[in-house]
Copies of this chain bind each other. A is one copy, B any other.
Amino acid sequence: MANKAAPDPSRRSERSRRAIFDAALALVGEIGYEKLTIEGIAARAGVGKQTIYRWWPSKAAVLLDAFTAGIEDDDYAKGFPDTGDLAADLKSVLRATADEFNDPAFEAPYRALAVAGANNEELSRTFVARLMEPGTRVYVERLRAAQEAGEVATGVDVRVAVEMVLSPFSQRWLMRTGPLTHEFVDTLVDQVLNGLRPRG
């Protein structure tokens, strides 16, 4: 099948992987998780469905890898900023995240996957472990660093503190209970941090 003029096979595979990820993310945003099929992804990506089945056992596996690849490209996964000013660091990351969640290109596939996860317990466990947990962990680590630096009181449950920041954000987005504005993010960060500081 390969001929001498063909490019490096690993680069060809990488191009197919990208095409499959882009097709999966676009399609799930358009038609939802229930109607998504491997055949549909293959047709949109311009590859044979066997190419997909060779690498992934299910549409859920394709989608989760597509999102994970997107997050790995993202600057913020390279490490949470630590300028020494916890409030400023949280606000800058959350403002950028708000802009991303307000972008329809990101919003549609991520919502489709979140909804499918809320509906399906097994998918949800994978969704949480692969996508939500790594995102949460960088916040937990940043808060632990602040706790070691004396910016956050020693008695604080850092995990619950992170949920106090991230869950109101996620809920406004998922259930559409309020707008994800920079003003909201700033108020949220200030009010959460106010309760975490050591009492003088």
Question: Which residues of A are interface residues toward B (Cβ below 8 A)?
Answer: 32, 34, 111-112, 114-115, 117-119, 121, 124-125, 127-128, 132, 136, 156-157, 160-161, 163-164, 166-168, 170-172, 174-178, 184, 187-188, 191-196
Given contacts A112-B119, A118-B174, A136-B177, 20 further A-B contacts (CB under 8 A): A32-B119, A117-B175, A121-B176, A128-B175, A128-B177, A132-B175, A157-B187, A157-B191, A160-B168, A160-B184, A163-B171, A164-B191, A167-B172, A174-B174, A191-B195, A191-B196, A192-B195, A194-B195, A195-B195, A195-B196
Could you tell me the dominant secondary structure of chain A's interface residues?
A: helix
Query: Is A175 touching B115 in the complex (CB atoms < 8 A)?
Result: no
A15 to chain B, nearest CB (A): 33
A133 to chain B, nearest CB (A): 8
Query: Is B157 touching A125 in the complex (CB atoms < 8 A)?
Result: no
Query: Is B124 touching A118 in the complex (CB atoms < 8 A)?
Result: no
Pairs across A and B, CB under 8 Å, 5 listed: A112-B119, A118-B118, A121-B176, A128-B176, A157-B187
